[in-house]
Structure 1
């Protein structure tokens, strides 16, 4: 509003982006997560739609943003948004070990002959993987409370398969060579196909759901897990 132009901004309660923004985010200095209302529609959410669809998409996004509080950057801030080394030594050592696994995993992914920078994209990769895992746990808890969902008519998939398909379709994308290379150089998010395949290949539940053979591309023997 015009009346707000000359006032001191309220940095603790004001939104960093307008509600029409289709992008959730986490702020370490404010220790808050924001999910603009514009996100609550396809392909992220269906009001009164199948829970498998909503947990797989919006649920994983919620888990993704919360995980940012515990990635390389977020973990440096405490509950008040202040820089603080609040982890114990054992937690730090475990974190360094598991994040090394994930960094090496994504560094070996090639798209059009170019490798992803696993170090540059590490925070987002941690959030993708942990957000997906948290969403599946939440969906399983929902099933325990409300029971199994009926299979969708005309869709030859189990509801667990629908869950993972809903997660994957959020990152459908198409790139020109220039656009892809620019993205790899400037964006901390891995390209869509790598975000999907990286996180799914680390999910034991995904491998079971789609019956992926052990040591196949989508069911490697070594699976990286940070949170």
Structure 2
């Protein structure tokens, strides 16, 4: 672990307090000041990673993690910085307007949802929601670009490669939620992420490839007519 920290430090992550804390706690993050994605080694252990796992499953899980953090370079705040962490010239007005329009679509969509009777706050979570929605698209495209042959069907799971990909994505955000804790966090806006059920279901309901993989009828909860996406 010490050698890992040294390597990361030598690659330009010079905030040693932040870096060692990240490694100790298990951290996944995008560092805008030097355009770096940090994924600590705990993410490469079970139940998230095992070399024998189905490749589509791994793309859906680890591929999503990487895609989420990379997308932070293009979220509402950090998109205004360049690769060196310096301010960029403003985006062309038309591009900026379209970006904000699409971001608002996501914010409104998430805000319309409730969990245990409490409304989600899409305006607070929109940065992370943008990254979730784009990450699954990036990971899926990477999976399709590198898929050589179908993986063996796992015992007890009669799932296609595409379905295994989305299963891997869902497993990454698997969480047992306590109602009182969830309501408290929503009421006081304590989390910049949407609750995990919506990080999975809302994200996938916006992605046509999921509906194709599981034959979700148009107009069903997981394949709504109106979908939102900042990046296609």
| TM above 0.5 | yes
SS in 1 for 2:96: helix
CA deviation after TM superposition for structure 1 residue 29, in Å? 2.1
Aligned mates of 1:44, 1:83 — CA distance in 2: 36
Task: Confirm whether residue 196 of structure 1 aligns to residue 166 of structure 2.
Answer: no
Counterpart in the other structure of 2:154: 152
Counterpart in the other structure of 2:47: 43
SS in 1 for 2:45: coil
CA deviation after TM superposition for structure 1 residue 89, in Å? 2.1
Decide which of 179, 182, 189 is 2:181's aligned counterpart. Answer: 179
Decide which of 49, 55, 63 is 2:59's aligned counterpart. Answer: 55
Aligned mates of 2:103, 2:80 — CA distance in 1: 15
Aligned mates of 2:82, 2:47 — CA distance in 1: 33
Say which is worse superposed, 103-112 or 13-22, in terms of deviation.
13-22
Aligned 8 A contact 1:183 1:191 in 2: no
Normalized per residue, the structure richer in helix is: 2
Counterpart in the other structure of 2:113: 109
Task: Confirm whether residue 127 of structure 1 aligns to residue 136 of structure 2.
Answer: no
Counterpart in the other structure of 1:13: 13
Aligned mates of 1:43, 1:97 — CA distance in 2: 38
Aligned 8 A contact 1:171 1:192 in 2: yes
Structure 2 runs not aligned, ≥5 long: 1-8
CA deviation after TM superposition for structure 1 residue 173, in Å? 1.7
Aligned 8 A contact 1:109 1:115 in 2: yes
SS in 1 for 2:30: strand
Aligned mates of 1:53, 1:167 — CA distance in 2: 7
Aligned pair count? 217
SS in 2 for 1:34: strand
Taking structure 1 as the reference length, the TM-score comes to 0.89
- TM-superposition CA deviations, 1:132-163 (whole Å, max 9, x none): 110000000011xx223232232111121111
SS in 2 for 1:59: helix
Aligned mates of 1:119, 1:195 — CA distance in 2: 15
Aligned 8 A contact 1:26 1:65 in 2: yes
Counterpart in the other structure of 2:146: 142
Aligned 8 A contact 1:20 1:37 in 2: no
- TM-superposition CA deviations, 1:95-121 (whole Å, max 9, x none): 011111111110111101111000000
- TM-superposition CA deviations, 1:28-81 (whole Å, max 9, x none): 222211111111123322224211111000000100000001111211211110
Task: Confirm whether residue 226 of structure 1 aligns to residue 230 of structure 2.
Answer: yes
Counterpart in the other structure of 2:32: 28
